[in-house]
Amino acid sequence: MPAYLFQKFKDFNGIRYVKEKRIPLAGHNSIQNLWIKKDRPFEKGWAISSEELIKYVLNRNDTEKKYSIIIDSAPSVNTKIDYKELDDIHLYTF
């Protein structure tokens, strides 16, 4: 499932999202690199917050703008849009 970084705006109509870029999560990408950064937890659960993931992807510690990570859970379906906003990722490494 592709994941995207969106900038989040509030305006008079509510919350608006503007796509910034695609984020590689799985494989040898963001999740693995954050696992290494957390001293490779093994045989236990661990978590990545969306804020931590956003800071990693942007390569900055502080973000003035508000961002969200959105996952397209049905990328090959053209008849519907099925986006999920990511809060946290909980993992178990064995």
Q: Quickly state the pLDDT bin for 90 (edges 50, 70, 90).
A: very high
Nearest to 67 by CA among 18, 25, 30: 18
| Encoded amino acid at 80, one letter | K
Q: Say if residue 53 is exposed, middle or buried (CB neighbours under 10 Å; 0-12, 13-18, 19+).
A: buried
DSSP states of 52-88: HHHHHHHT-S--SSEEEEEEES-TT-SS---EEEE-E
Global pTM reads: 0.78
User: Is the pLDDT score of 22 beyond 80?
Assistant: yes
DSSP letter for 27, please.
Answer: S
Q: Give 30-76 pLDDT, tens digit per residue.
A: 889 999 999 999 999 999 999 899 999 888 776 667 899 999 888 88
Q: Which domain holds residue 53?
A: 3-93
Q: Number of structural domains, the chain?
A: 1
